[in-house]
Amino acid sequence: MDKLSVMNAFRRIVERGSFARAAEDLGVSPALLSREVKLLEESLGSVLLTRTTRSMSLTDAGRVYYEETMGILDAVNAVENRIREGAGAVRGHLRVNVSSSFGQMVIVPFLPEFLETYPDLRLTLSMDDRVVDMVEGGFDLSIRIRSAMPDSALVARKVGTIRQRIFAAPSYAARHGMPQSPEEIAHHRIIGFLLADHLTHWTLTGPDGVAELEIDPPVRVGNSLALRDLLLAGQGIGTLPDFVSNGPEARGELVRVLPDHELPAPEIFAVTASRLGMDAKVSAFIDHLRAALGG
């Protein structure tokens, strides 16, 4: 027995003063309502309505049940109305998880405008290079950079693409020269990104096709910004995503190694626990992220 449905039916019967009129309002038969009330009375062990062929009245137990039912149903309706009204509003608490380098270089710069636009929103931004369980962590949204998202119960939406290229500082090139072909990379000091899919294997696509390289970086770091800083200090060559490399390259602080070669381009995914997770605050955040990425 659906208690809320039966409560609603009982309330309608009392307020309309008739099984027939209540049944008409609810789109069911009077016989069905009569059976539901009988089952309700049996479950409670009390008679709620006294009925004759001409009249119907509440018993003392029925009056108590009716009054309590009104409070319960009004409270349920109030909650549902608040949820419906808030579904399209950017308010509440938004919890976002993102890698530290992407968070610092891409997310944080657009946060002032985002927070000014939605002053009623609370935001928790967790920047963690580990892949976290977003459901266990209570996150509404996780931004993940992957070549592909594995099949799972999570819902992933592609919001952008990243270019991965090889860089070195001019000071490194002056001391050690620059590789002129993929095969020459093995003769150089490589700084690897510890969490990358390509830590020990580079697939380079260039004008002569695809080159597969086995790499054993003597220096490995778990953060793209730390890798960038080591490259800037002339400590070796390494791969960087464009959101990290664009600034130093534009200023001449880093130069491309094998500029006509690139690694596979990973995708940027906005991940929610379910399609219901795509509410107004999540949508607004993803819209600002797309704009920051030039999408």
User: Which of 122, 131, 129, 211 is CA-nearest to residue 166?
Assistant: 211
The whole-number average pLDDT for the span 18-31 is 84
User: What's this model's pTM, rounded to 2 decimal places?
Assistant: 0.67
The whole-number average pLDDT for the span 141-169 is 85
Q: Is residue 199 domain-shared with residue 223, that is, in the same domain?
A: yes
Q: Is residue 9 domain-shared with residue 141, that is, in the same domain?
A: no
Q: Is residue 194 domain-shared with residue 145, that is, in the same domain?
A: no
Domain that holds residue 242: 164-257
Please provide residue 40's backbone torsions phi and psi, each rounded to the nearest 5 degrees: -65, -45
Residue 55 lies in a domain: yes
The answer to which of 69-78, 213-222, 269-278 has the lowest mean pLDDT is: 269-278
Domain count, the chain: 3
Task: Please report the pLDDT score of residue 138 as a whole number.
Answer: 84
Give me the half-sphere count of Cα atoms (radius 13 Å) on the Cβ side of residue 275: 0
Q: Is residue 209 domain-shared with residue 131, that is, in the same domain?
A: no
User: What tens digit of pLDDT does each residue of 58-116 get?
Assistant: 888 888 888 888 888 888 776 666 666 555 678 889 999 999 999 999 999 999 999 99
Q: Is residue 13 domain-shared with residue 56, that is, in the same domain?
A: yes
Residue 79 lies in a domain: yes
